[in-house]
Amino acid sequence: MKSLWQDTANLPSFPTLQEGTKTDVLIIGGGIAGLLTAYFLKEKGIDYILVEKDKICSGVTGNTTAKITYQHSLIFHRLIKSYGADKAKLYYEANRLALEKYREMCLSIDCEFEEKSNFVYSLDNMKKLVKELQAAEILGVPMKYVKSVPLPLDTVGAVMCENQAQFHPLKFLSAVAKDLNIYENTFVSEVRDGTTVTDKGNITAEKIVVATHFPFIDSHGSYYMKMYQSRSYVIALEGAVDVEGMYIDECDKGLSFRNYGELLLLGGGSHRTGKKGGSYSELRAFRKQHYPTSREKYHWAAQDPITLDGAPYIGHYSKRTHDMYVMTGFNKWGMTGAMCASMIVSDMLCGKDSPYKDAFSPHRSMIKPQLFLNGAETALNFLTPTKKRCSHLGCALKWNSAEKSWDCPCHGSRFDESGKVLDKPANKDISTL
């Protein structure tokens, strides 16, 4: 089913690449991160091309909840603990500037941009909220505690950031993309020695930006080791309530709330891709109990790469690939994450040393507990006997009955019933016979 955003926006169309070509910068991927990067390069007068295998915004960008906030759950305490206050401050400042850039751009774009307060609530862990408030004070983040939230949940309170925002992402991107140099329905099969191979011809570029949600070039960067993917679900309800803000549980498996016009967007049911989870059934049970007179108008699912430490990977694809860049691992916060990435990488492409790049460096330490959990999951599924194997690295696929797809628990690749790739890092279709 189409998401609310896909059903209520008209995106521009672009031609398909017909022959080989050259450019200074090639951007691979037509989601929000790739489009914003192209937009900033055009502003800077840089020669670029963006290629997208399908239609722009046909992937995860069209399935967001579209919250624009620097309050990424209880991230600041974690970042201070892992990297110290200086880098945590850079993370905050970059995301604060991303919010401000949206605010600036949306002055001239009709995309239903609205100022809203953002709340991270907890059902039972006041200690976590207190630690986050202490971290916010150290970093200068304007955050405060509230005792209750207008939700049908028994909470111990929430931490709140005022003057955050929400919008219609595809109306925004329709305006951003309309005059960009884009080729749709142009599939990139591989990148080798500065040459990008597509099904329509080779593209020679001095620099390459991989903005494909999950990086697909495995020979560099080890992204398949240092990320896993999580699926989450949204139902849009008519006749529910206006919650007058944006809300999310500090627990990864909790619920998310925001309104769009007369609709309440209820999110949750999260699980590792390829594993079992609450999915739509959890959300529908909650609707039945707490909003029994409401009606479901839309439902959709999203997929998000989760990094080892909660911060995205933005910058050089690897230490050995100085002319190739990556933006990935937005950890369910793709709106500000994509804006941060596009501003940082576009500066780097122009030879400008971004003050924020160290906070997001893809080359920071991988020695985190999640790395070993990712490795164990890969080993287990690689050794699972089944005929249906992922075309990425050969892991066993699991049937997703809620979405009628074959999903990989190792790295999050997904395939439809006919074996066509739905989500990377897999870049080849499979046979499901």
Domain locations along the chain = 4-64+170-225+310-360, 369-416
pLDDT tier at 433, thresholds 50, 70, 90? very low
* SS3 assignment, position 374: helix
Over the stretch 346-368, which tens digit does the pLDDT of each residue have? 999 999 989 999 999 999 988 88
Provide DSSP, 180-195.
Answer: S-EE-S--EEEEETTE
| CA nearest neighbour of 392 among 266, 312, 287, 274 | 274
Residue indicated by tokens 């709330």 = 257
- 294 residue type, one letter: S
DSSP 419: -
| CA nearest neighbour of 398 among 271, 305, 280 | 271
Per DSSP, what are the bridge partners of residue 394?
none
> CATH assignment of 4-64+170-225+310-360?
3.50.50.60
DSSP 75: H
* SS3 assignment, position 71: coil
The predicted model gives 278-292 an average pLDDT of: 96
Q: Which residues contact 218 (CB under 8 A, 6 or more apart)?
A: 224, 392, 393, 425
- Would the pTM of this model clear 0.85, i.e. be above it? yes
Over the stretch 308-361, which tens digit does the pLDDT of each residue have? 999 999 999 999 999 999 999 999 999 999 999 999 999 999 999 899 999 999
Over the stretch 108-141, which tens digit does the pLDDT of each residue have? 999 999 999 999 999 999 999 999 999 999 999 9
| CA nearest neighbour of 31 among 205, 285, 213 | 213
pLDDT tier at 65, thresholds 50, 70, 90? very high
Q: How far is CA 163 from the centre of its chain?
A: 22
Helix H or strand E segment including 405:
strand 405-407
- 127 residue type, one letter: K
Number of H helices, E strands in the chain: 10, 21
Q: How many beta carbons lie within 10 A of that of residue 201, not counting itself?
A: 13
Q: Which residues contact 192 (CB under 8 A, 6 or more apart)?
A: none
Residue 29 scores a pLDDT above 90: yes
